[in-house]
Amino acid sequence: MNQRTRIKICGLTREADVDAAVEAGADAIGFVFYARSARHIDLARAEVLARRLPPFVTPVGLFVNASDADIAAATAAIPALLPQFHGDESPQDCARAGRPYLRAARMTAGFDLLDFASRFTQAQALLLDAHVDGYGGGGKVFDWSLIPSDVPLPVVLSGGLHAGNVIQGIQTLRPWAVDVSSGVESAKGIKDAVAIRRFCDAVREADARSAASPA
């Protein structure tokens, strides 16, 4: 059965970018709470931006080895916030958030994604990104052949996606969702409304091609 690929636009810092993502049809938008990221925003700013979201568009908070207190403050300020853990968090660390979450996996040769998935069974999905120095996204595409065909959790494909390669990614992997940040930017943390629209249109084109192809 063909499914609609969900779309997450990450690293939003401005009202105009939130509005552009919503207008283009994004299902989720991401706020980066990792202080060392060029796309970092503080909680007060994220709370303001999250208020612009209409129903059924999910705010996601990206955390890297954050304290329980910081995570609790964020989920209290933004009640619909879906945590995304991008650091060295254990399953127990993630569970203490007390709500559904996404777990990022940093893909590289030799990484056992199936073992990783078996430890994070409570995650709503695994977000697969390239392994780069430090934490967070590096805007790099990883080797998609590293992804086993039998991952037991929904997959969010990330890492260097843009309008020019997301169709191939969807057709090759059939992920539950795709995640983009640098691929729709004019500068770090500054999104481009036209690029956002092109990316979302490309995702819908990929879904249409999948629906039209023989089973």
What domains appear along the chain, each with residue ranges and CATH number? 6-209 (3.20.20.70)
Catalytically active residues are 10, 129
Q: What is the pLDDT of residue 135?
A: 56
Instruction: Read off the pLDDT of each residue in 23-33 and give the average, rounded to a whole number.
Output: 98
pTM of the model: 0.94
Rounded to whole angstroms, the Cα distance separating 12 from 184 reads: 11
Rg (CA), the chain: 16
Is the pLDDT score of 15 beyond 50? yes
Distance (Å) of CA 19 to CA 44, 134, 137, 174, 199: 18, 30, 23, 27, 15
Identify the residue with better confidence: 132 or 56.
56
User: What's the CA angle centered on 209, arms 208 and 212, to 5 degrees?
Assistant: 85
Q: What is the pLDDT of residue 2?
A: 58
Q: How confident is the model at residue 61 (pLDDT cuts 50, 70, 90)?
A: very high
Q: How confident is the model at residue 138 (pLDDT cuts 50, 70, 90)?
A: low
Is the pLDDT score of 136 beyond 60? no
User: What's the CA angle centered on 23, arms 19 and 26, to 5 degrees?
Assistant: 95
Q: How confident is the model at residue 215 (pLDDT cuts 50, 70, 90)?
A: low
8 Å CB contact between 26 and 46: no
Rounded to whole angstroms, the Cα distance separating 49 from 39 reads: 14
